[in-house]
Amino acid sequence: MKHFLNIHDVKDLNALVQEALKCKKTPKANRKLGKNKTLGLIFMNPSLRTRLSTQKAGINLGMDVMVMNFAGEGWALETEEGVIMNGDKAEHIIEAAAVVGSYCDIIGLRSFPTLKDRALDYSDHVINAFVKYAGVPIVNLESATVHPCQSLTDVMTIEETKSRKKPRVVLTWAPHPRALPQSVANSFAEWMNRTDYEFIIANPEGYDLAKEFAGKAQIVHNPEEAYKGADYIYAKNWSSYEDYGQILLQDENWMVDERKMNLTNNAKFMHCLPVRRNVVVSDAVIDSKHALVIREAANREFAAQAVLKQILNNG
């Protein structure tokens, strides 16, 4: 693996998931692999899980790890090429990426979308500029369109908890007071589409994901219909793709609650976190034995480790 930008960088999904599960069993087994290598983690946006789990993954592999919050600590970045930089942006991403690349052997980058300009966001221009100018492998820690470290973790978590070979997995939209990116949902959909699971996306009218991510998923606009017989309920809010970045409704019937969970096949509840209790999911569901959210967050470390290991092994 050269870069880890999205599902297309994964040749063998099952092998990568098995590698993550192996890392979980013996996290310190490859401490020499990353010796004298530096991992740089660059955040343009807030993070808890991604920041700490990727840092821990690098440490497990013997890497030196540097973390920088660009939004609060770096110079304001210009990302458009060919502009006259006489405004408030002091540094161009061309130099910034190259400089970070000169200090690091691998860079992890988080950069959220604007949710204003769909064409710009869906070009994933920030992470692609790092690929172009940093000169070292890039790991996507959530870009404008996808969150592959989260999705690898989600597949890993389903694989280690599933009670039948081809579970029925439902990605359900849930309400939220703020407009959120489509990246986790996009990514979860494209990774599910690479498995042989039964995969359903449940979302209100106006919230269909881009076809390139929804792929072959069955799409329903009625939550009860989707929940029936489900083995996994994966909840996430996303703002509208069609009416780009807009909140079209706040209907609490879409919140994950006990009533709808009772329609399922004893489904496990999943969410990438952070989650708003009693908005996205009721206390009763997230506090129940069916919730996998802490296991999912813990697994982020080993998913990141499997990715870093493949990149390090690639030389």
Q: Can residue 140 be called a binding residue for ligand CP (CB under 6 A)?
A: no
Q: Can residue 291 be called a binding residue for ligand CP (CB under 6 A)?
A: no
Least separation in angstroms between CB 169 and ligand CP:
18
- Binders of ligand CP in range 15-44 (CB under 6 A): none
DSSP-H helix ranges across 7-147: 13-25, 49-60, 70-73, 93-103, 118-122, 125-134
* 8 Å CB contact between 42 and 109: yes
The site for ligand CP, by CB under 6 A, has a size of 9
What are the residues whose beta carbons fall under 8 Å from the beta carbon of 95, sequence distance 6 or more?
none
Least separation in angstroms between CB 111 and ligand CP:
12
Q: Tell me, residue by residue from 249 to 288, as one string, x for binding to ligand CP by CB under 6 A and - for no binding.
A: -----------------------xxx--------------
Least separation in angstroms between CB 91 and ligand CP:
24
Q: 3-state DSSP call for residue 40? A: strand
* 8 Å CB contact between 209 and 238: yes
CA quadruple 94, 96, 100, 106: dihedral sign: negative
Q: Can residue 150 be called a binding residue for ligand CP (CB under 6 A)?
A: yes
Least separation in angstroms between CB 57 and ligand CP:
13
Euclidean distance between CA atoms 6 and 86, whole angstroms: 35
Euclidean distance between CA atoms 268 and 164, whole angstroms: 13
Least separation in angstroms between CB 95 and ligand CP:
27
Distances (CA, A) of 225 to 45, 144, 172, 275: 36, 30, 11, 24
Q: Can residue 49 be called a binding residue for ligand CP (CB under 6 A)?
A: yes
Q: Can residue 48 be called a binding residue for ligand CP (CB under 6 A)?
A: yes
Tokens representing 163 are 């009670």
* 8 Å CB contact between 143 and 206: no
Q: Tell me, residue by residue from 199 to 238, as one string, x for binding to ligand CP by CB under 6 A and - for no binding.
A: ----------------------------------------
Least separation in angstroms between CB 58 and ligand CP:
15
Euclidean distance between CA atoms 35 and 175, whole angstroms: 45
Least separation in angstroms between CB 7 and ligand CP:
17
Find where tokens 């030389």 sit.
315
**Nearest residue (beta carbon) to ligand CP:** 50
Find where tokens 């290991």 sit.
309
Least separation in angstroms between CB 274 and ligand CP:
6
168 versus 236: smaller Cβ distance to ligand CP: 236
Host H or E run for residue 169: strand 168-173
For the chain, helix (H) and strand (E) counts, in that order, are 13, 11
45 versus 265: smaller Cβ distance to ligand CP: 45
227 versus 269: smaller Cβ distance to ligand CP: 269
* Residues forming the site for ligand CP (CB under 6 A): 47-50, 142, 150, 272-274
